[in-house]
């Protein structure tokens, strides 16, 4: 296990985007947790939504006076092949889970758990990767309640993987899910629903001035913002359906011939499937100079891309929440997204973007064209989008929700 370096954060930085009551509530919850040590465990420090969330939650909690550590599992690709299969199986598409895969999972999680030495009052395990550590953690920290924070879309898991999950249910005191529809997949004593959030002060989401935008435009060349641009920012992962987005773009291009598509993606450290899919997507797009497949962009460039694009698309087939949707909406860019996972929580159909069925590339194409052909509509949707995210999906709101749960768990426990 290792502790990733996280940026400094001050809660004061959120005063301009958050109601004063909310910040006061946060401070009083933090006061109640001032003598508590909390450990977050996850499987990667970079790439994907969980890393994005923890890079903000952990330093802000420390700034608020809550002693919070974050440890990331160390494992090789064999382990991450298994956990990616678990992730896929829980989202409804599983290869068989063999005894060998289970053994790899048990060995690696036990080895990681054995490396935790400090004392903690509460442990928060994120997603399925660390679940195998819980038995050992229970023995080591018998008084520390265990929270499982699940970010995965559990609406329709494959039975074999549901059973895999259930084997750990006894060790979990409290499950936190991103939507109520996910909580039924595992029987734990207590569940809560907490919507994730984006952090408005990070490099990814802060405002950029004209000079910074000009620099990023140059960096993104030959993608040109003098012609319409549709963008999807996602890990290269079959659930993100980059091929469906390509299909929607090709169809939209018949109405908007100068249209360009940017498919920006990263490889998460715990996702060995990423490189394979990146190559397939790049291959599919190789003959079209208007399709730009961009890998591992710096955060400032992702920020500019989401900001400068005319429309952002998120054509996922499954999606735990989909932080990228709020990231784009926060930057006043309308989003066309599918009706899966957390996307409908973020897109208000006809107000800040459009919702389409996940397998309906033609509908996505129609909505993209509608938006591209109506500048006024895009501007109004952008205004609505910013306010929707400001009210519901910024970090301080999520922190209040989480800390309320932590206080409740620890009070109940004492």
Phi, psi of 353, rounded to the nearest 5 degrees: 170, -165
Token pair of 385, please?
């989008």
Report the nearest approach of ligand UDP to the CB of residue 330 (Å). 11
Q: Which of residues 368-387 bind ligand UDP (CB under 6 A)?
A: none
**Contact (CB, 8 A) for 188 and 174:** yes
User: In whole angstroms, how close is the CB of 324 to ligand UDP at the nearest point?
Assistant: 4
Strand order in the sheet with 191-193: 67-72, 37-42, 122-126, 146-149, 174-177, 191-193
- Size of the chain in residues: 414
What distance in Å separates the CA atoms of residue 223 and residue 302, rounded to the nearest whole number? Answer: 13
Instruction: Please give the full DSSP string across 283-306, using - where no structure is assigned.
Output: HHHTT-TTEEEEES--HHHHHHHH
How many angstroms separate the first and last alpha carbons of the chain?
A: 29
Count of CB atoms situated within 10 Å of the CB of 392: 14
From edge to edge, which strands make up the β-sheet containing 311-314? 291-295, 260-265, 229-233, 311-314, 335-338, 353-356
What SS3 state is found at 38? Answer: strand
* Contact flag: residue 49 with ligand UDP (CB under 6 A): yes
Identify the residue among 39, 52, 60, 66 touching ligand UDP (CB under 6 A). Answer: 52
The residue sitting closest to ligand UDP, measured at its beta carbon, is 49
Q: How far is the CB of 113 from ligand UDP (least distance, A)?
A: 24
Report in angstroms how near the CB of residue 266 gets to ligand UDP at its nearest.
Answer: 3
Q: Which is nearer to ligand UDP, 48 or 130 (CB)?
A: 48
Instruction: Please identify, using beta-carbon distances, which residue of 216 and 327 lies nearer to ligand UDP.
Output: 327
Name the residue among 290, 303, 228 with its Cα closest to residue 263.
Answer: 290
The residue within the footprint of ligand UDP, chosen from 122, 264, 343, 345 (CB under 6 A), is 264
Q: Give CA–CA dist 174/192, Å, rounded.
A: 8
Residue 204 binds to ligand UDP (criterion: CB under 6 A):
yes
Sign of the CA dihedral 335, 339, 345, 350?
positive
Is 146 among the residues that bind ligand UDP (CB under 6 A)?
no
Cis peptide upstream of residue 253 (ω within 30 degrees of 0): no
By CB under 6 A, residue 327 contacts ligand UDP: yes
User: Which of residues 112 and 242 has its CB atom nearest to ligand UDP in the complex?
Assistant: 242
Name which of 297 and 372 has its Cβ closer to ligand UDP.
297
Segment interacting with ligand UDP (CB under 6 A) among 8-16, 229-237, 244-252, 349-357: 229-237
Return the residue of 256, 323, 355, 356 that touches ligand UDP, per CB under 6 A.
Answer: 323
Task: Please pick, from the candidates 33, 188, 208, 324, the single residue that binds ligand UDP as defined by CB under 6 A.
Answer: 324
Please, which of residues 265-304 interact with ligand UDP by CB under 6 A?
265-266, 297, 302
Q: Judged by CB under 6 A, which of 14, 18, 48, 312 binds ligand UDP?
A: 48
Q: Binding of ligand UDP at residue 200 (CB under 6 A)? A: no
Contact region for ligand UDP (CB under 6 A) — 1-9, 45-53, 61-69, 377-385?
45-53
Q: In this chain, which stretch among 137-145, 186-194, 319-327, 387-395 interacts with ligand UDP, using CB under 6 A?
A: 319-327
Summarize as ranges the residues that interact with ligand UDP (CB under 6 A). 48-49, 52, 204, 233-235, 264-266, 297, 302, 321-324, 327
């Amino acid at each position: 296990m290792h502790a990733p370096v996280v940026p400094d954060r001050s809660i004061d930085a959120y005063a301009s985007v958050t109601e004063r009551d909310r910040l006061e509530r946060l401070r009083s919850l933090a006061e109640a947790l001032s003598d508590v040590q909390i450990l977050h465990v996850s499987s990667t420090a970079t790439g994907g939504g969980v890393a994005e969330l923890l890079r903000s939650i952990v330093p802000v909690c420390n700034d608020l006076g809550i002693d919070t550590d974050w440890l990331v599992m160390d494992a090789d690709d064999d382990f991450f092949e298994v956990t990616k299969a678990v992730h896929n199986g829980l989202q409804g598409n599983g290869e068989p889970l063999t005894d060998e895969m289970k053994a790899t999972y048990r060995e690696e999680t036990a080895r990681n758990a054995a490396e935790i030495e400090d004392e903690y009052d509460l442990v928060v395990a994120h997603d399925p990767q660390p679940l195998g550590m819980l038995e050992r953690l229970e023995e080591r920290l018998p008084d520390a309640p265990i929270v499982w924070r699940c970010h995965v879309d559990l609406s329709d898991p494959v039975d074999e993987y549901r059973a895999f999950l259930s084997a750990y249910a006894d060790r979990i005191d409290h499950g936190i899910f991103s939507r109520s529809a996910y909580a039924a997949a595992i029987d734990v004593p207590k569940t809560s629903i907490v919507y994730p959030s984006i952090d408005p002060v990070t490099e990814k989401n802060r405002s950029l001035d004209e000079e910074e935008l000009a620099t990023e435009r140059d960096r993104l060349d030959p993608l040109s913002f003098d012609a319409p641009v549709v963008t999807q920012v996602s890990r290269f992962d079959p659930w993100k359906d980059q091929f469906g987005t390509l299909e929607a773009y090709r169809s939209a291009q018949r109405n908007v011939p100068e249209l360009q598509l940017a498919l920006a993606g990263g490889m998460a450290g715990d996702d060995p499937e990423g490189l394979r899919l990146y190559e397939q997507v790049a291959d599919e797009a190789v003959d079209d100079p208007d399709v730009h497949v961009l890998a591992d962009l710096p955060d400032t460039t992702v920020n500019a891309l989401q900001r400068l694009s005319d429309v952002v698309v998120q054509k996922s087939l499954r999606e735990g929440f989909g932080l990228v949707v709020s990231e784009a909406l926060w930057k006043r860019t309308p989003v066309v997204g599918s009706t899966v996972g957390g996307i409908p929580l973020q897109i208000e159909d006809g107000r800040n973007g459009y919702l389409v069925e996940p397998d309906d590339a033609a509908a996505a194409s129609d909505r993209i064209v509608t938006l591209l052909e109506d500048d006024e509509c895009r501007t109004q949707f952008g205004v609505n989008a910013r306010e929707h995210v400001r009210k519901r999906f910024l970090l301080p709101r999520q922190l209040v929700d989480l800390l309320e749960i932590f206080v409740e768990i620890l009070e109940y426990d004492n």
